[in-house]
Amino acid sequence: MTSRNKRPDYKIGDIETRLSHAGMDLSGERQVVNPPVYHASTVLFPTLADLRQASDSPFDGLYYGRFGTPTQRALESAYAELNGAEGCVSVGSGLSAITTVLSMLASRGQHMLVADNVYDPTRKFCDGLLSGWGIETEYFDPARPDQLAECFRKDTAGVFIESPGSMTFELTDVPAVSAICRAKDVPLVLDNTWATPLFFDEYEHGVNIAINAATKYVVGHADALLGLITCDATWYRPVRSAAIALGQYAAPDDAYLALRGLRTLALRLTQHEQQAQALCHWLAEQPEVQQILWPAWSEHPQHDIWQRDFTGASGLFSVLLSPVSDDALSAFLDNLRWFGLGYSWGGFESLVLPMNPATCRTAKPWQQEGVLLRIHAGLESSEDLIDDLAAGFERMRSYS
């Protein structure tokens, strides 16, 4: 457990070393490398005095299963150590991490500034429940931080961004937005699921609260849902309290799977990046491909920001195809051998999904013609993946 007064061993060791050792507690009787998986609701106290003492600081020790056990604590402290966050709160899904933070930040009559390219369910939460609670959301162009300062109001409670957006991959200049937020004394929240702390260090770039849908790369095997929220010193306690108040909780088996996934995250991300690189190179040669939307691609409109702020690129990107009929698109997608057609990403297996950003944009409408395909480059051989795509393009061409 990250203590409030003593920072964890902040950035001691390279990231690969920290991934292997973070959150490991071999104190006391423990000699086993990994933490036990506690399936717990009730925690028993030997005496009334012990029960009262535990009630005084329920976040810190063992109190009641919903507050977490050494299983969730091991994951939380490991993840917080990666980027030197003050603390980490684990919850049941990436979306619940987002809704917990948004519910905590704003109250009735206040205003939130949200980037136009956020994950669509984030937007639905803002336009649905938050709006019903009397909190107004204003969307801004993620690529134009210069326009952001004038959007602030006296009652602006927070700024929420996702960089890159996980559908259209615009980047936000986080240091620029952070400077504006600091001047206005408003917290900056980043959904950092795409880069993870390995490829984008949130706290070095002035973020106050960072969200990771650990369902994706941290778990990495498409077998659990989990959300991780890290915070700076100001926001750790409020976020922890909000998660408890909302009944948020990460199931112990899923927390264990996430901790296991964390140990190999650097290896997997490096491989996902190389795969994406190989696929983008091949895709760029196809006549139907109008644009590659991957920040590491040199023609990405904000490639310079990626080069300045990121230390790598993960394996999720989109390609914009010239317009095709629905039948042609189905012929491509229905018969792929290795690419699965389905939601989520970050697992070992490759996925493809058609996207329509036009339905979830307001600040900067999506006006590109054509079909946007989002691809998650998995860990298969890149030759096999390219062969699969090539066969798909051939099937699609036979329709035109």
Ligand X SMILES: *Cc1c(COP(=O)(O)O)cnc(C)c1O
Cβ-in-10-Å burial (0-12, 13-18, 19+) of 44 comes to: exposed
Contact assessment for residue 350 and residue 386, using Cβ atoms and an 8 Å cutoff: no
Q: Which of 77, 100, 163, 166 binds ligand X (CB under 6 A)?
A: 166
| Active-site residue, 79 included | no
| Active-site residue, 216 included | yes
Both tokens assigned to 1? 């457990």
Q: Which of 73, 123, 139, 191 is catalytic?
A: 191
Phi-psi region of 183 (alpha: psi -120 to 50; beta: other; left: phi over 0): alpha
Contact assessment for residue 75 and residue 54, using Cβ atoms and an 8 Å cutoff: no
Q: Supply the minimum distance, in Å, between the C-beta of residue 170 and ligand X.
A: 13
For ligand X, the binding residues in 337-366 under the rule CB under 6 A are 344
Question: Is residue 396 involved in binding ligand X (CB under 6 A)?
Answer: no
Question: Is residue 193 involved in binding ligand X (CB under 6 A)?
Answer: yes
Question: Is residue 95 involved in binding ligand X (CB under 6 A)?
Answer: yes
Question: Is residue 192 involved in binding ligand X (CB under 6 A)?
Answer: no
Q: Which of 377, 395, 397 is nearest to 386 (CA)?
A: 377
Q: Supply the minimum distance, in Å, between the C-beta of residue 361 and ligand X.
A: 16
Using CB under 6 A as the criterion, what x/- string covers residues 221-250 for binding ligand X?
A: ----x-x-----------------------
Q: Which of 81, 116, 162, 273 binds ligand X (CB under 6 A)?
A: 162
Question: Is residue 213 involved in binding ligand X (CB under 6 A)?
Answer: yes
**Cα(202)–Cα(175) distance, integer angstroms:** 10
Question: Is residue 215 involved in binding ligand X (CB under 6 A)?
Answer: yes
Task: Choose one: 20-28, 90-98, 233-241, 267-275; the region binding ligand X (CB under 6 A).
Answer: 90-98
Distance from the Cα of residue 378 to its chain's centroid: 17
Task: Choose one: 35-43, 138-146, 213-221, 294-302; the region binding ligand X (CB under 6 A).
Answer: 213-221
Q: Which of 59, 63, 79, 119 binds ligand X (CB under 6 A)?
A: 119
Both tokens assigned to 112? 């939130």
Q: Measured from the CB atom, is 186 or 316 closer to ligand X?
A: 316
Q: Supply the minimum distance, in Å, between the C-beta of residue 221 and ligand X.
A: 14
| Active-site residue, 11 included | no
Contact assessment for residue 250 and residue 66, using Cβ atoms and an 8 Å cutoff: no
- Sequence-ordered strand ranges (E) for the chain: 87-91, 111-115, 136-140, 156-162, 188-191, 209-213, 227-231, 289-293, 316-321, 340-341, 351-355, 371-376
Q: Which of 369, 358, 290, 368 is nearest to 323 (CA)?
A: 369
Q: Measured from the CB atom, is 76 or 162 closer to ligand X?
A: 162
| Active-site residue, 308 included | no
Task: Choose one: 54-62, 63-71, 87-95, 109-117; the region binding ligand X (CB under 6 A).
Answer: 87-95
Residue 146 sits at the vertex; the CA angle it makes with 145 and 150, to the nearest 5 degrees, is 100
DSSP 227-290: EEEEE-TTTHHHHHHHHHHTT----HHHHHHHHHHHHTHHHHHHHHHHHHHHHHHHHHTSTTEE
Q: Measured from the CB atom, is 292 or 355 closer to ligand X?
A: 355
Enumerate binding residues for ligand X (CB under 6 A): 93-95, 119, 162, 166, 191, 193, 213, 215-216, 225, 227, 344
Residue positions annotated with a catalytic role: 66, 119, 191, 216
